[in-house]
Amino acid sequence: MLLSRCFPDRHSRTLAPVPRCRWPLTSVPLLLLGCGGPFPQSTLHPRSDFARAADTVFTDIFWWAVLVFVVVETALVFALVRFRHREGRGAPRPTHGHTLLEIAWTLAPAVILVFVAVPTVRTIFATAGEAPPDALKVQVTGHQWWWEYKYLDLGITTANEMHLPVGKPVQIAITSADVIHSFWVPRLGGKRDAIPGHVNYIAFRADAAGNYSGQCAEFCGASHANMGLRVLVDSDGGFAAWVKAQQGLAVAPPKGSPAEQGKAIYSRSACLGCHTIQGVSPGIIGPNLTHVGSRSTIAGGLFPNDSAHLASWIADAPALKPGAIMTRMKPPLTDADIAALVAYLASLK
Ligand code: CUA
């Protein structure tokens, strides 16, 4: 539509008058948008050794490109001015068969490519996913449309929010349960495809504690854009406390509480078939919910983990996330049932 406005073809001119192209005006605020902040998913603010290595390659190549731009544009402007048309002056003499010039402009791009290739190839090898043997290992599995994390050495399974210790080497093994996804946390490192039947690795060491958001970076179906994730880099003490809490059994709700009622509803619902709650249900199709109340988001980082969003999510997940395989329950749950389920899930800290 916009394109046809800006580049009307011959036929459209014979119809109604074509509106003037407004790109130059509308694009100014759009361009300026790129100057503001914050950018939680910007590779230009690296916070790990991996992300810094990639950023350094980018910066190096950017300055080589600036140099080439300046040289080429200077030559161009010089030629435009020096050989511009003047009254009474004939066409300039063409340069032809100048061996030295031809060797020079063949060699120059080759040399520039070497300057680009050497740091690029070096960084590709340096970020190939090798980690020291004591690195924390996390197995990541992409699903339509959420992420599963298994800390095999620690006996922890969780979803969508990955906790890591600051300053420690980490190795992440990435695969997929269905279609090809891509695990990408721009400020920490990436991206790596999650391919069914194949494992890819990323290794890095996060510099600073914080909450880093990420995104599936490979089109994987209706809710590809809704397949977010979080990496929470904790202080040593914070990470140890998280591990201890996650290794614990699911909290048993107090007698007579709404959460206990919710547990009873959960235990006779279809939820069992898909979700694990340690000691309650063994499903493995959806996210493990043993400690779901300790997460800050639900649905692949899409919504805050609060009562209102949990209730809407349980009532009708595909309405919030197109294509979600957690369909509406049949028969539908009553509002009271949903409220009790929400109380139960929120209690699973
Ligand atoms: Cu998963 Cu896109």
| Res 8: pLDDT | 41
pTM: 0.81
Instruction: State both tokens at 325.
Output: 């395989």
Q: What spacing in Å lies between the alpha carbon of 335 and ligand 1's midpoint? A: 32
Q: Is the CB of 172 under 6 A from ligand 1?
A: no
What percent of the chain is modeled with pLDDT above 70? 89
Given a cut of 60, is residue 80 above it in pLDDT? yes
The residues, ordered by sequence, that sit 6+ positions from 91 with a Cβ below 8 Å of its Cβ are none
Q: Does 218 sit in the ligand 1 pocket, CB within 6 Å?
A: yes
Contacts with 339 (C-beta within 8 Å, 6 or more apart), sequence order: 258, 307, 311
Give dist(CA 261, CA 265) in Å, integer: 6
Atom of ligand 1 nearest to the CA of 179: 1
The answer to whether residue 20 scores a pLDDT higher than 60 is: no
Same fold flag, 39-83+97-247 and 258-347: yes
Instruction: Kindly give the distance from the C-alpha atom of residue 174 to the centroid of ligand 1, in angstroms, as a whole number.
Output: 13
Ligand 1 centroid – CA 302 distance (Å): 13
What is the model's pLDDT at position 33? 57
Whole-number Å distance between alpha carbons of 76 and 72: 6
Atom of ligand 1 nearest to the CA of 218: 2
Whether 131 has a pLDDT exceeding 50, the answer reads yes
State residue 11's pLDDT score: 43
- pLDDT tens across 259-296, in order? 889 888 888 888 888 999 888 888 889 999 999 989 99
What residue segments make up the domains of the chain, in order of their start? 39-83+97-247, 258-347
| DSSP secondary structure letters along 7-69 | S--HHHHTSSPPPPP-HHHHHHHHHHHTTS---TT-TTS--BHHHHHHHHHHHHHHHHHHHHH
Homologous superfamily of 258-347 in CATH? Cupredoxins -  blue copper proteins (2.60.40.420)
pLDDT, tens digit (0-9, with 9 covering 90-100), for 132-189: 999 999 999 999 999 999 999 999 999 999 999 999 999 999 999 999 999 999 999 8
Fold exhibited by the domain 39-83+97-247: Immunoglobulin-like (2.60.40)
